[in-house]
Structure 1
Amino acid sequence: MSLSGRPVPEPVEGRWMAIPQPTAFEPAGGMWRPERVRVIAASRGLRREAERLETELRACGIAAAADVSDPVIRLRLSPLATRDPADESFTIDVAHDVVVTAASAAGAFRATRQLLHNLRAQRAVPQGIVHSAPAVAERGLHLDAGRKHYPAEWIRAQLHAAADIGVNVFQWHFSENPGFRLESAAFPEIVSAERISRAEAADIVATARDLHVDLIPSLDMPGHLQHVLTAHPELRLPETPGLATDHALDITREDPVRFALALIDDMIPVFPHSTRWNLGGDEFVDFDRMADFPALATAAAERYGAQATGFDLLTAFVNRVAVHLRERGFEARAWNDGLLRSASERLDPEIVLTWWTNWNAGMRPVADAVAAGHRLVNVNDALFYYVLGENAGYRYPTAERIWEADWHPGLFPALWGPDGQSTVRQELALPYPALLLGASFAVWSDRPEAQTPAEVAAGIRGPLRAMAERSWNAGSALSLEDFAALDVAIGEATPLEEERRHA
Structure 2
Amino acid sequence: MMIFSSCKTPNHFLCAIFIGFGLNIPQTYAETVTQQFQKAFSSAEVSEKKESGLALDIARHFYSAETIKNFIDTIHKNGGTFLHLHFSDHENYAIESTILDQRAENARRDENGFYVNPKTGKPFLTYEQLKDIMDYAKQKNVELIPELDSPNHMTAIFNLLAEKNGKDYVQKLRSKWTNEEIDITNPDSIAFMTSLIEEVVWIFGNSTKHFHIGGDEFGYSEENNHEFINYANKLSAFLKEKGLKTRIWNDGLIKSTIDQLDPNIQVTYWSYDGNTQNKQAARQRRTMRISMPELIERGFSVLNYNSYYLYFNPKESPNISKDSDFAMRDVIKNWDLSIWDEKNTQNKVAEPNKISGSALAIWGEYAGSLKGDSIHKATENLLKAIIYKTNAAGDSTGTISRKLQQLDFAQINANSYIDLMQVRNNESVTLENYPQTVHLLQTNALSGKKRVLWVSGSHVHKIRLEPQWQKTGLNEKRNGKSYTAYKYQDNILWLDDNITEQ
TM-score of the two chains, using structure 1 as the length reference: 0.59
CA distance 1:199–1:365, change in 2 (3 Å)? same
2:349 to 402, 424, 428: 428
Q: How many residues align?
A: 325
1:456 counterpart residue number: 375
Using the alignment, how far apart are the partners of 2:369 and 2:61 within structure 1?
A: 10
1:374 counterpart residue number: 300
Q: SS at the partner of 1:153?
A: helix
| 1:377 Cα deviation after fit | 0.7
| 1:333 Cα deviation after fit | 0.5
1:276 counterpart residue number: 210
Using the alignment, how far apart are the partners of 1:456 and 1:490 within structure 2?
A: 16
Q: SS at the partner of 1:334?
A: strand
In the alignment, structure 1 residue 442 sits paired with structure 2 residue 365: no
Could you tell me whether the CA contact under 8 Å between 1:182 and 1:196 is conserved in 2?
A: yes
1:483 counterpart residue number: 407
For residues 211-269 of structure 1, give each alpha carbon's deviation from its aligned partner in whole angstroms, at most 9, with x where no partner exists: 010111111111111111223432454454xxxx2220011211111111110011111
| 1:428 Cα deviation after fit | 2.5
In the alignment, structure 1 residue 252 sits paired with structure 2 residue 185: yes
Using the alignment, how far apart are the partners of 1:189 and 1:199 within structure 2?
A: 14
1:335 to 246, 249, 272: 249
1:149 counterpart residue number: 62
Q: SS at the partner of 2:123?
A: coil
Using the alignment, how far apart are the partners of 1:238 and 1:161 within structure 2?
A: 40
Ranges in structure 1 where 5+ consecutive residues have no aligned partner = 1-82, 88-133, 292-307, 416-422, 492-503
2:340 counterpart residue number: 412
2:386 counterpart residue number: 467
For residues 347-396 of structure 1, give each alpha carbon's deviation from its aligned partner in whole angstroms, at most 9, with x where no partner exists: 11110001111133413211221232210111111101012339xxxx75
CA distance 1:326–1:489, change in 2 (3 Å)? farther
Could you tell me whether the CA contact under 8 Å between 2:72 and 2:137 is conserved in 1?
A: yes
CA distance 1:349–1:482, change in 2 (3 Å)? same
Q: SS at the partner of 2:341?
A: strand
Q: SS at the partner of 2:340?
A: strand
Using the alignment, how far apart are the partners of 2:73 and 2:411 within structure 1?
A: 16
| 1:201 Cα deviation after fit | 0.2
Could you tell me whether the CA contact under 8 Å between 2:134 and 2:204 is conserved in 1?
A: yes
1:46 counterpart residue number: none
2:312 to 386, 401, 420: 386
1:234 counterpart residue number: 171
For residues 89-114 of structure 1, give each alpha carbon's deviation from its aligned partner in whole angstroms, at most 9, with x where no partner exists: xxxxxxxxxxxxxxxxxxxxxxxxxx
CA distance 1:448–1:342, change in 2 (3 Å)? farther
2:270 counterpart residue number: 356
1:266 counterpart residue number: 199
Using the alignment, how far apart are the partners of 2:403 and 2:197 within structure 1?
A: 45
For residues 146-202 of structure 1, give each alpha carbon's deviation from its aligned partner in whole angstroms, at most 9, with x where no partner exists: 112211111111111221111111111111110001101222159764100000000
Using the alignment, how far apart are the partners of 2:254 and 2:82 within structure 1?
A: 25
Of 424-433 and 268-277, more deviation after overlay is shown by 424-433
In the alignment, structure 1 residue 201 sits paired with structure 2 residue 161: no
Using the alignment, how far apart are the partners of 2:362 and 2:258 within structure 1?
A: 35
1:218 to 147, 163, 183: 147
CA distance 1:480–1:431, change in 2 (3 Å)? closer
CA distance 1:320–1:209, change in 2 (3 Å)? same
Q: SS at the partner of 1:447?
A: coil
2:229 counterpart residue number: 315
Using the alignment, how far apart are the partners of 1:465 and 1:488 within structure 2?
A: 17
Q: SS at the partner of 2:346?
A: strand
| 1:480 Cα deviation after fit | 7.0
Return the letter of the residue paired with 1:483: L
Q: SS at the partner of 1:255?
A: helix
1:119 counterpart residue number: none
Alignment RMSD (CA, Å): 2.9
CA distance 1:143–1:346, change in 2 (3 Å)? same
Return the letter of the residue paired with 1:427: K
Q: SS at the partner of 1:388?
A: coil
Using the alignment, how far apart are the partners of 2:94 and 2:82 within structure 1?
A: 20
1:166 to 67, 73, 79: 79
Return the letter of the residue paired with 1:177: H
Which structure ranks higher in relative contact order (CA pairs < 8 Å, sequence separation ≥ 6)? 1
Using the alignment, how far apart are the partners of 2:140 and 2:389 within structure 1?
A: 21
Q: SS at the partner of 2:303?
A: strand
Could you tell me whether the CA contact under 8 Å between 1:366 and 1:426 is conserved in 2?
A: no
Matched ranges for 1:6-45 at <5 A: none
| 1:84 Cα deviation after fit | 6.2
Using the alignment, how far apart are the partners of 1:202 and 1:356 within structure 2?
A: 30
